Chains A and B, each alone.
Chain A
């Protein structure tokens, strides 16, 4: 059974700091890995998708890396802003070969607070 862990569980940083969020998974047979952001009481916003054959993806101040063999991914946030405050979730995807669809297994999340 796939297990996904995120470290740290919570993080508080001053504005402008660069930071790294970590995600680890136990089964390397994944199809892709997706990073999401969730604001309190809201749904999930997709940030980045990394296919299993890729090592890295970038979007603006965000950079995600994937080391499938070691079961690790990191999300790097450059020059953090108070608007980045949210819970960040990583999720690994497995294809449902019999009927179709993707099964996401989510990590435990990192609650980020960026202070002025």
Chain B
């Protein structure tokens, strides 16, 4: 089962709201990722967690706060977002953080900031 599950599929939030995106995988993968994809553009890396530790933050604004509670779960906490943050947020995972394994993506969470 090569499945990465993301919830919610769609989220509309105001600029003063606090919300979270959730991601789960049960493949025993130890690296998890958040990507952001704007319309008609390729995905761009935001965060990488390897063995539950933050490995990379691609200079993402602090209004996005990642959390990895355990090896199966990855959250993205959202606060005081801007309309330009509206995008498809993709979660992904790979088996091992130190080798070139296939990276599996979820279906994404569509975020609209109003």
List residues of A whose CB falls within 8 A of some B CB.
31-32, 34, 36, 41-46, 49, 51-52, 89, 93, 95-96, 98-109
Contacts and interface: CB of A to CB of B under 8 A. Distances in A.
By Cβ-Cβ distance, the 3 closest A-B pairs, closest first, are A100-B97, A100-B50, A99-B55
Given A100-B31, A101-B31, A101-B55, A107 B42 contact: yes
Interface band, chain B: 20 to 34
A49 B94 CA distance: 12
B56 A101 contact: yes
Nearest to A103: B45
Contacts of A98: 55
Interface centre among B2, B54, B55 (most CB of A within 10 A): B55
Given A99-B55, A101-B56, A109-B42, A51 B50 contact: no
Contacts of A43: 4, 6, 90, 105-108
B108 A49 contact: no
Nearest to A33: B100
Contact of A99 (B4, B56, B90): B56
B53 interface: yes
Contact of B33 (A31, A34, A51, A101): A101
A103 B48 contact: yes
Contacts of A101: 31, 33, 48-50, 55-56, 94, 97
B42 A89 contact: yes
Nearest to A89: B42
